[in-house]
Structure formats: structure tokens, C-alpha cells
Amino acid sequence: MAVVTSKGREIILNRLRGSGSEPLNLGWGNNPNSLTEGVSDVALFKEASESRVTGTSSLVTTTTPSDTYQVTGTFTSAGAQTIAEVALSDSASKPFSSTWSTAPTGTSGTSATLGASYTPANGTYIQCRGEVMQVTAGTGTTSLTLVRGANNSTAVSQSNADTVTAGNIPGVSTVTNGSLLFHSAHGSQVLALNDQVAYTLKVQLT
């Protein structure tokens, strides 16, 4: 399964208005907790170390002529790893990402500590597992104050060392490189050094 994120819908509509960059950039990830993608997602669950790949786009026919936007791209694995997700973004670079040193408590805790200083501004958004949270205080430090369950996501329990990544919800573009069009969790692919995986990602208008 795959989803166009809520931010992705905004990206599509902005392109109709002649604004924004084409979402050509593929990122892949490890998805260590075997999570399922959701329309509220603003980031990969755990983006892998390889650089994003600039894909090649085209319009193809699924049901009616040129009803599907398609991007193809190929990754080369930098080492032994398991890949289990892919995403499409309008940025070739990755957004801010770190891990929890101290995760928020349960599904209602509003404070947490990162392993690195948070560089985006207060008021921006992060994702851990399938939950999006707003950071209301803590930029420039490792101690964050959070609003849980943002962007119509559901608050979930998180653990120390979970990956935390910044991203943009609809109407917000303050996180550098943080706009995600498309997210798909897929079956685990166990890779060795220099193994290659070719992706074909499609968004169909129906």
C-alpha cells in the first residue's frame, strides 16, 4: 500500500497553480518497527543513510490516458541493511533528524529530550513512528515541549532511541527539506553492500 500525504495533496495543488518544485526526489528507509504509512505522515519512519535519488518523471496511462504521475529511480545500498519504506519529496536533501534520548511518556507526555539540538524553529512539526507532534518550545536545545497527535495523527507510545524527523504539514513550509508527497511502507528487502533497488512510484488521479 502507499499514500499521498496530506502535505502531498497541497504539493499537487500548488503545482497546478504553477508554484513549488516538482517532487522528483526519492528517499528510502529502514522502518525498523514495521509501521504502516498514513496520510498524516510528514517523514519516513527512519530514513536510511544513503543520499536521496533524483528520479525521472513521466505521465503514464493506468485507466485513462495520462492519468498517472510516475517517478522512477534506483538506489545503491551503502552496506548491509534492511529497507522497508520509500517516499517521494520535492527536496533532494534530508530534513533535520535525531533520536530520542528520553522519549515522551506514554501517549500524553509533552516533554522529551533529543540526542542532538533541535535546529528548526519553535512551532514546527516532527514525526516519530506514526505520530506527528508540534514542537512548541526547545529550538536550539535538546529539550522539547510537544503537542501530541498533530496533523490528525494518533498519539502512540515511543521509546528511547526511536528516530525523530522534522516535516511540514499542509499550510506550513518552515522545515527545510521537510515536505513529503508520497509514503509507502513495503515488504522488507535485505540488502548487501552495492545491492541496487529500482523503484517506480505512481500517483493516479481518479
Among the listed residues 37, 2, 5, the one whose alpha carbon sits nearest the alpha carbon of residue 167: 5
Taking the C-alpha atoms of residue 179 and residue 181, their distance in angstroms, rounded to an integer, is 7
> If DSSP codes are grouped into helix, strand and coil, which group holds residue 3?
strand
Longest pairwise C-alpha distance within the chain: 52
Residue 40 confidence (pLDDT) above 90: yes
Cβ-in-10-Å burial (0-12, 13-18, 19+) of 74 comes to: exposed
Tens-place pLDDT, residues 135-159 = 999 999 999 999 999 999 999 999 9
> If DSSP codes are grouped into helix, strand and coil, which group holds residue 16?
helix
Do residues 91 and 146 lie in contact, with contact meaning Cβ atoms separated by under 8 Å?
A: no
Do residues 140 and 118 lie in contact, with contact meaning Cβ atoms separated by under 8 Å?
A: yes
User: Residue 47 carries which DSSP code?
Assistant: B
pLDDT of residue 1: 73
Tens-place pLDDT, residues 44-72 = 999 999 999 999 999 999 999 999 999 99
pTM: 0.95
Tens-place pLDDT, residues 155-184 = 999 999 999 999 999 999 999 999 999 999
